[in-house]
Amino acid sequence: MFKEFQQLKRRIYLVVFPLFSLSLLVNQFHYRHSDSTLHFEDKLKDYLMLSWFLIGFLLLMIKKSSLRTVELITLGLVPIILFIYLRHILFVEIPREDVLDSGTFLFWAPFLFIAIFISLPKKQALIYALSIQTVNLVMTFFAYWQFQYPDDTTRILFNFFISQYVFIFAMFYFQELFKVFLKNRELEDMASTDYLTGLPNRRKIDQILNKQFRNGKAFSIILLDIDHFKAINDKYGHDIGDSVLKKISSLLSAHKKDQHFLGRWGGEEFIMIVTGGTNTEEEAERIRSIIEAHLFMDVQTVTASFGIATYEQGDDKRSLLNRADSALYLSKENGRNRVSVL
């Protein structure tokens, strides 16, 4: 689950960083083709942020393991840049214009807190976010005390800071809800996953089969059973037997086609749901050959028997599985290490 979350964060940054960069480029283009003057603080802020977003994007594209480094630099750099920008607004822009032209600051500031809460543990994120916001608030009080802003500007600033504090605490509690969601997802995955092989278990395969029947499209199932597995357990012990099961599952996972579903059916039996117009008998024969050719540690050669059944009009789950099971029994009766179709 942690790995999935890290991958999700990486995808978010790969989308957001180019969008932020585009916003900054549009901002620069606007000022270059207008009568407005871009002050040093604005130039510094824009160029620093643009440079980092482009560098961060390239790092994430080239090296997936750079995610944590990119996150930490972003969380250190962006608050400083936003502080510089807010200082310019409070001490230069508002006193000069007598109005708050918030520009991109009010639009983009909340995204800093999103980054904080998806990058740091809950309590650390809350402390860091409140610290940043409090520093900005103190600076705003000093500026207000010095320049005595107009009522409209004061009202905008007041609402901005209140909304930011609300946003911070909303993110704090949302993170708690997200943890509950991840925990429930983890429990659901555990209930649907075979603990030994990591494959979908019988419960999950049942759900997939039900979905296939609802779709009404042609599909087949392959049942495979490891030959003489009881003898392997008796001769080499259950630890070796478990290692054989795990190796078989990894071979099946590595060599199955992406559109097919694989699971552990129980004991030494595995099941594959074959979709997409694949020649099921050829597919089963290919997998049988791969298992037979593999040298297993301690046991050396292991073989498997296969039974195939294809969905026909009027089939239900029981009739289809019974035919596949009968085909598997036929393979066993005819000498094992073979594929049979019914």
C-alpha distance from residue 148 to each of 5, 59, 153, 265, 339 (Å) = 47, 45, 10, 74, 86
Catalytically active residues are 268
CA distance 127 to 4: 26
Angle between helices 122-147 and 103-119 (to 10 degrees): 160
Say which residues have a Cβ less than 8 Å from residue 17's Cβ, sequence separation at least 6: 53, 54, 56, 57, 60
> Sign of dihedral through CA atoms 232, 237, 241, 243?
negative
What kind and span of H or E run contains 49? helix 40-62
Question: Are 157 and 100 contacting, i.e. CB atoms less than 8 angstroms apart?
Answer: yes
Is 341 within 8 Å of 326 (Cβ atoms)? no
